[in-house]
Structure 1
Amino acid sequence: MQINVTGHHIEITTSLRQYVEEKFSKLERHFDQINNVHVILNVQKMQQIAEAKLHLAGGDVFAMSERTDMYAAIDSLIDKLDRQVIKHKEKQLKH
């Protein structure tokens, strides 16, 4: 799985990049056919926004999360993506 991390109005530090990579590695436990992940971390005034697009075998998954803390936004993003990836996996198994 290739992870691309981009920051808008925020500097991507090594600790932030490692945190994102650690969290996204947990998604591979549920669905191992994740090809590419594009993560955008953005700051707008007091809101920290994290959004990600996953390229999966059989489709794409997109989620966005807004919080006052960037790490909380990433955690919320992972929770949303986790639910979507599980749903995508179940759809593939039914077909």
Structure 2
Amino acid sequence: MNLNLTGHHVEITPALREHVTLKLDRVIRHFDHITSTHVILSVDKLQQKAEVTLHVKGKDIYADSTDTDLYVAIDQLADKLDRQIVKHKEKASTRHRDKQLDVDNP
């Protein structure tokens, strides 16, 4: 997986990079067909925002989270992304199963 990490008005420290990588690895264990990932971390006065766009086969998955603490925003983002990936994976397997049933029953 190709990870692109960008910071707007925030310096991407090794600790931030490590935290984002650790959280995204949890998402990858559910779904390994992710081609690239773009994470944007930004700071606006009191709001810390984390955004991610995952590029998977046939779809782009987007999630964002805002909090006063950037690490909490990243954690919330990972949870949202995890739910979306599981939902996408279930839909894909259901479609595959439905196509297989159609082929078996002409």
TM-score (norm 1): 0.97
What's the offset of the Cα at 1:28? 1.1
1:36 aligns with 36
The CA distance in 1 between the partners of 2:60 and 2:85, in whole Å, is: 10
Amino acid at match of 1:11: E
The CA distance in 2 between the partners of 1:31 and 1:83, in whole Å, is: 11
What's the offset of the Cα at 1:74? 0.2
Structure of greater Rg: 2
The CA distance in 1 between the partners of 2:29 and 2:58, in whole Å, is: 18
2:59 aligns with 59
Gaps of 5+ in 1: none
TM-score (norm 2): 0.88
Amino acid at match of 1:84: Q
The CA distance in 2 between the partners of 1:82 and 1:26, in whole Å, is: 8
Alignment of 1:2-81 (within 5 A): 2-81=2-81
The CA distance in 2 between the partners of 1:64 and 1:28, in whole Å, is: 17
The CA distance in 1 between the partners of 2:17 and 2:11, in whole Å, is: 10
For these two proteins, the number of residue pairs brought into alignment is 95
Amino acid at match of 1:12: I
What's the offset of the Cα at 1:58? 2.2
* Root-mean-square deviation over aligned CA pairs: 0.6
